[in-house]
Chains A and B, each alone.
Chain A
Amino acid sequence: MSNEKDLTVDADPTNSRRKFLNTAALAGLAGVGLSVGLSSCKQDSAHAPAAAAKTDAAPAPVAKAEGGKYEVPPGQLDTYYDFCSGGHSGEVRIYGLPSGRLLKRIPVFNMDALVGWGVTNESKAILGTKPDGSPKYTTGDTHHVHQSYTDGTYDGRYAFVNDKLHSRIARIRLDTMECDKITELPNVQGYHGTFPDKRDPVDAAVNRTTRVFCGAEFSIPLPNEGRDMDKPDAYRSLFTCVDADTMQVRWQVLIDGNCDLVATSFDGKLAATNQYNTEMGVHFGDMMAAERDSCLFFNVARIEQAVKDGKFKTIGSSKVPVVDGTKAANPDAKTALVCYVPLPKNPHGVNISPDGKYYACAGKLSPTCSVIQHDLVLKWFDGELKDAREAVVAEPEIGLGPLHTGFDGRGFAYTTLFLDSQIVKWNVEEAIKAFKGDKNAKVVADRIDVHYQPGHGFTSMGETKEPDGKFFISDNKFSKDRFLPVGPLHPETAQMIDISGDKMKLVADHAVYSEPHDSIIVRRDIIKTRQIYNLDDFPHAIKDAKDSGVFREGKKVTVKITSVAPAFSLPEFRVKKGDEVTIIITNHDKVEDLTHGFAIPKYDVNFLINPQQTQSVTFKAEKPGVYWCYCTNFCHALHLEMRSRMIVEA
């Protein structure tokens, strides 16, 4: 046997066991030295690449190890959902944390070409339509997303989101992550703050969200139908309560001044809103005239009793009962519907601490954050407090431009400082001591720079009774140089800060498309979604492929199609010019993630049908010709072949 043959055997890794044994056995017999050489060769070659790899890996930066703690390696899942408003994009987004990966964009008030939101009949029915069937509004401005609660923490049923632009509230069902209801609020503009209640103030047995409160920022003439347009004194704001189950407006409260952000107490008794325009000013300067603005507390039980007792009026064509919560109408605290707690000028943001004891109301134009004690407000309603201002138990100076406050459950509050571009960590109990005159109280524990100009800030599970004090997200309004430049419109930065230690640690810059305002960070085990739809959920579902076909009733034509990858049940269908065509498609695929699309060229139709879902569109067949409908969502090896011809006969 030759040396060469040996080496060939060795070099070929696919060589068989027995064949190798064969050769090696002969080698063992034939010559010893030869085999020694062979085995040492093998060792050398095995070591060489390892050594090379080592030098490659050597310059890895040391800092990486620290950041790596927050990386989510391939195949692993994030530990939190981040439900985030999309600002004037009108949508809601879901990010995974700590990775910051964008997982989903849920179209709500906007149009979405991908899923067909605003295209399908089903979505239009939720959005509301004009008489011609087109969506009533195609724009929206979402600011605040909040989840429904059960027993003081998120229950994964619903998320609620506001539309500041057209004053609408939308509900997203979290099992499918789709908007299922949109309600337009009457008599208001600039609906900004919103928050679901956490338990029922009237029925103690109901320990879950049944109401959503909405604060309107802009005051308008009531009714706003052309009267009093030049009489700003007559402009008014209302605070609104929407039923979380029916999404009908329950009641509204007429107030002095405006509403801004909203908070609710854990015991369900109070809803709060801060106001920055006590002055009811119309112009910029007017709104900052007064030294004091206030935070309003609504006594939900009393308001609902008043409604029950018929002590309300209605405005214009709206049937919604409106009770009077103005100071003039509520002179006696013992019967008052609303408590006005005076605060330094133009406060912004009101957040309740996870223990339910305090509301933090940031000063914005004042470098302070006011702490209002929940049970003192209740005392005021009982007539036991002389002045509502007595409910303020602390007002620490924390920095310039304080806006929003998050809590970690360990007694610390984290407030965004817009002007200082910082997050300040301060201790609530120390602030109360300092307010009482304790000079030794150490209020501010830490500060950290963020980049740049934070708006909202929030902590993981911080708005529930189960805060875990792990992360703080600072949603900054400017990113400037923090990312690769992409033209004059920059992304925003959502900066992640580890708050688990004594010192805050900036651990990630996440780029977000404009413009998230507020988010909630939700533990992943709370959310449970459906994998596929249920055929029976759709009244128009075509349950059997044999039921496919074209069904005509005069000018109205219904085309029923089912889809199973890679084919639609109708390879072609014929309609006549001028027909009003309704296409209903049921996706019969049952495999998770096997979504189909349905697009019709020149007819501006494109939408998705998820497994076992039914969707429909209606349009006028105005253009004769052949139109290749096709699947837009990659589904199969033969996805490209998944088509159907729409033949519009002249």
Chain B
Amino acid sequence: MIPTIDSPVARALMRYAALMLLLACLATTAGATSYEAHLPPELSTSPRMCDYVPCAEVLPGADSFSERKGSPPYVEGYRGSGDGKKLVGYVMLSTDITDLPAYSGKPVVTLIGMDARGYFTGVKVLKHSEPILLLGIPEQALIDFNHQYVGKFVGDQLEIGQSRPDEHIVGLDAITGATVTVIAQNQVMLNSGMAVAKQVGILKPTPRAAAKFVDSGAAPTWQQMVEEGSLQRLSVSPAEVGSSGAGPFIELWFGYLNQPTLGRAILGRSGYDRLMADLKPGDHAIFVIRTAGGESFKGSGFVRGGIYDRVQVRQGRDIFSFRDTDYLNLYGVAAPGAPAFTESAIFIIHGGNAFSAAYPWQFVFLGNKTDRETRTKTFVNFDREYWLPANYLQGGRPLVVKPDPTWLKIWKDRAGAIVAFTALLLGVAVVYANRDGLVRRSSHKNKWPVNGFKYVAWVISIFFAGFGLLAQPSITQVLTWFHSLLFQWKWELFLSDPFIFIFWVFIIVTVFVWGRGLFCGWLCPFGSLTELMYKVARALGLKRFQTMLPKRLHDRLKWVKYAVFIGLLAVSMFSMGLAEKLAEVEPFKTTILVGLFKRSWPYTLFAGTLLGLSIFIERPFCKYLCPLGAALAMPTTFRWFGLKRKQECDTCKACAKGCGSLAIDRDGRIDQRECLLCMDCMILYYDQHGCPPLAQERRRRTKSGLEMTRIGADGYFIPIRQIPTQAAEK
């Protein structure tokens, strides 16, 4: 909402500018506009509604229409004739159903089409009187706004603002500067659609039995009502609306007034009696006070259009807006301990059968968030649930089954796979934790006790985790974290993919305990795939074509992946979109998530080349390009438990020669950032035939006929020398 449009000064100016601008507008857009369009008078009365308006435009595919039927009225649209006549959907005229006015104080006459399943098929504005759409805002904006409904289900919670999947709210983009218009239009669309959907059985009416109140005769204080939850607070911080400053942007308290105990506590006895005397059946009163912040919850939209455009009440799918005549002055709060307030209101919900105070409802504050970058404003809604405490309701609170948030639903739906996947990760961790036993059982000739587990992990990772669950961690997630950490952390975002989430928990824990190698070397679907290809190729006799880069070259190239990572991180600070595009340097999406041959050829070529190279070079992508590996390698510097070495490793090159990751330098030191925990060097460590110092000792003992003792944790045969008892006791 551009403030200038709704401000009184601007409105005054607008009034005087109206004629001039109107003339200009009419001259250029004559005929094309529905502003104050003349509608045939029969439209509102004739049973043959579709003779007067283009019903087929909003219900494509229908070639004949019924007469008006039902209450409120609608028409049915059919395709074909005779026996082949098939119901396509319904068409309704908004003014048949609701006379809710828009900014002009007059309704936007809208023709609405909905298919037989309850999805909107078309929306056409027949006539509107919005001066605001003549002055500055093109009428196309309203048409574009309406077009958003096409394909949306009437039973969804459609709201102006951002989508909130976890709350099952589908967002619609507003028209900047025409707040009242779009809020009214959304209400009209929903009221109309639902009125018809309920009649034809698309939507089951949600019966909410009216609340029966318990009148305890108590006089609760403000504090008591806060504690029991019969008063609720809605607070919006400046940051949430893109503004700055200390203290809340707006802090509201609200409560339900029809309940006699609460109503008397807030309004006093006479005030309550008077209010109730004025309410009609189905009417509900709530009160709102502003206890902090400078923003008004009343705004000024109600002045011209008669609609309060900043507050609503929502119960289930039903949204209740307030007209100017639904507002009453609230002069004071009787309850002792009530806070001072600077704005107040009593709003009347004309609930009919739709609203029941026995069930929870939300009080919604419709705000604008200013983007600090573009200064454009977007709708953001803030809501707070209210549910009368059980002791105020006869029979207590009714049972309400709340839909799970989307992420929880996914977790429940995929519980089996989640358990299996978690088992995989835990299994690998347990195996690795017991590596000492496994490597002791292995030798440089037979590495199966280790590799058997590893290969199984690879295969499960590739086919189950990767191709099956699409659980391929990516650098984009790391970038997203950085942003979330700085800007807005939303657990729901991360929880919405349970496998990636669990994978990351595993990765973070294991990186600190053992280093990144456990993930990279054992579980990364793509990494596993490339090394498996390398191993299979070797087994198939391609070993002679397989090679390693010279160590010198490797030691230079290995830095490339860090550069890729830091580059991506830097780019993401300026453009997340660009960073995500550049993150295509990971062939994961092409290889695993989408499919190698389902993308355009440059992607296929890139991923194919990397995979092809993997046959001849062990894990080329992991070693030199993978930004995710780089991101994990950096904290791996500080892993708690590294691999074991012996002093002799400084000159012995046995492990280094066999290190597929080229992670052992010429001093025999392992670069933990490069190490993928393949365990080859650990096998050698205990291998009395493979490890040169051990082999030497073994030969010496064999020669001397000495006993072969067990190899200790330090990687040496346990010395045979007799230890004096007192020394041991020492």
Binding site for B on A (CB under 8 A): 14, 16-19, 21-22, 25, 75-77, 79, 524-525, 528, 531-532, 546, 564-565, 589-594, 634, 636-641
Residues on A with C-beta less than 8 A from B372 are 16-17
The 3 closest A-B pairs by CB, nearest first: A16-B373, A591-B306, A637-B18
Q: Shortest beta-carbon distance, A477 to chain B, in Å?
A: 33
Question: What residue in chain A is nearest B242 (Cβ atoms)?
Answer: A17
Q: Which B83-123 residues have a C-beta within 8 angstroms of A?
A: 101, 104-106
Cβ–Cβ contact B331 & A525, under 8 A: yes
Q: Which B684-707 residues have a C-beta within 8 angstroms of A?
A: none
What is the 8 Å Cβ interface bit string for chain B, positions 294-305, against chain A (1 contact, 0 not)? 001000000111
Chain A contact surface mostly: loop
- Does B730 touch A at the CB level, under 8 Å? no
Cβ–Cβ contact A592 & B22, under 8 A: no
What is the 8 Å Cβ interface bit string for chain B, positions 2-39, against chain A (1 contact, 0 not)? 00000000010011001100100000000000000000
Question: What residue in chain B is nearest A591 (Cβ atoms)?
Answer: B306
Q: How many residues of B contact A (CB 8 A)?
A: 39
CA distance A285 to B135 in the complex (A): 74
Q: Shortest beta-carbon distance, B135 to chain A, in Å?
A: 8
CA distance A19 to B574 in the complex (A): 7
- Does B351 touch A at the CB level, under 8 Å? no
- Does B329 touch A at the CB level, under 8 Å? yes
CA distance A641 to B20 in the complex (A): 12
Q: Tell me whether A531 and B324 are in contact in the complex, defined as CB-CB below 8 angstroms, given that A525-B331, A593-B303, A640-B19 are known contacts.
A: yes
Residues on B with C-beta less than 8 A from A589 are 105
Q: Tell me whether A637 and B131 are in contact in the complex, defined as CB-CB below 8 angstroms, given that A591-B305, A592-B306, A592-B324 are known contacts.
A: yes
Cβ–Cβ contact B105 & A565, under 8 A: yes
Q: Tell me whether A592 and B325 are in contact in the complex, defined as CB-CB below 8 angstroms, given that A22-B574, A524-B331, A637-B131 are known contacts.
A: yes
Cβ–Cβ contact B332 & A525, under 8 A: yes
- Does B274 touch A at the CB level, under 8 Å? yes
Cβ–Cβ contact B375 & A591, under 8 A: no
Residues on B with C-beta less than 8 A from A590 are 101, 105, 306, 323, 325
Q: Tell me whether A18 and B573 are in contact in the complex, defined as CB-CB below 8 angstroms, given that A637-B18, A638-B131, A641-B19 are known contacts.
A: yes
Q: Shortest beta-carbon distance, A609 to chain B, in Å?
A: 15
Can you list 26 pairs linking A and B with CB atoms under 8 Å apart? A16-B371, A17-B373, A18-B373, A18-B573, A18-B574, A22-B573, A22-B574, A25-B573, A75-B296, A75-B342, A79-B331, A525-B332, A528-B274, A528-B278, A531-B324, A532-B325, A590-B101, A590-B306, A591-B101, A591-B105, A593-B303, A593-B324, A594-B105, A637-B131, A639-B15, A640-B19
Residues on A with C-beta less than 8 A from B324 are 531, 591-593
Cβ–Cβ contact A638 & B19, under 8 A: yes
Q: Shortest beta-carbon distance, A527 to chain B, in Å?
A: 10
What is the 8 Å Cβ interface bit string for chain B, positions 318-335, against chain A (1 contact, 0 not)? 000001110101011000
- Does B41 touch A at the CB level, under 8 Å? yes
Residues on A with C-beta less than 8 A from B41 are 546
Question: What residue in chain A is nearest B332 (Cβ atoms)?
Answer: A525
- Does B173 touch A at the CB level, under 8 Å? no
Q: Shortest beta-carbon distance, B44 to chain A, in Å?
A: 9
Q: Which B559-597 residues have a C-beta within 8 angstroms of A?
A: 573-575
Question: What residue in chain B is nearest A639 (Cβ atoms)?
Answer: B15
- Does B216 touch A at the CB level, under 8 Å? no
Question: What residue in chain B is nearest A524 (Cβ atoms)?
Answer: B331
Residues on B with C-beta less than 8 A from A525 are 270-271, 331-332
Residues on B with C-beta less than 8 A from A592 are 306, 324-325
- Does B343 touch A at the CB level, under 8 Å? yes
| 17 further A-B pairs in the complex, CB-CB below 8 A; given A636-B131, A637-B11 | A16-B371, A17-B372, A17-B373, A18-B574, A21-B574, A75-B296, A75-B343, A76-B342, A525-B270, A525-B331, A531-B327, A636-B15, A637-B15, A637-B18, A637-B135, A640-B19, A641-B19
A18, A25, A546 — which one has the most chain B CB atoms within 10 A of its CB? A18
CA distance A565 to B324 in the complex (A): 17
What is the 8 Å Cβ interface bit string for chain B, positions 138-166, against chain A (1 contact, 0 not)? 00000000000000000000000000000
Question: What residue in chain A is nearest B487 (Cβ atoms)?
Answer: A17
CA distance A82 to B359 in the complex (A): 43
B104, B270, B323, B374 — which one has the most chain A CB atoms within 10 A of its CB? B104
CA distance A356 to B443 in the complex (A): 112
Cβ–Cβ contact A638 & B22, under 8 A: yes
Q: Shortest beta-carbon distance, B476 to chain A, in Å?
A: 18
CA distance A222 to B371 in the complex (A): 83
Residues on A with C-beta less than 8 A from B11 are 637
Which of B325, B374, B573 makes the CB contact (< 8 A) with A16? B374
Residues on B with C-beta less than 8 A from A77 are 329, 331
Q: Shortest beta-carbon distance, A465 to chain B, in Å?
A: 14
Cβ–Cβ contact B106 & A564, under 8 A: yes
Question: What residue in chain B is nearest A21 (Cβ atoms)?
Answer: B573
Q: Shortest beta-carbon distance, A633 to chain B, in Å?
A: 13
CA distance A297 to B574 in the complex (A): 90
Residues on A with C-beta less than 8 A from B574 are 18, 21-22
CA distance A75 to B344 in the complex (A): 11
Residues on B with C-beta less than 8 A from A524 are 329, 331
CA distance A638 to B20 in the complex (A): 11
Which of A17, A79, A531, A634 makes the CB contact (< 8 A) with B325? A531
Q: Shortest beta-carbon distance, B706 to chain A, in Å?
A: 64
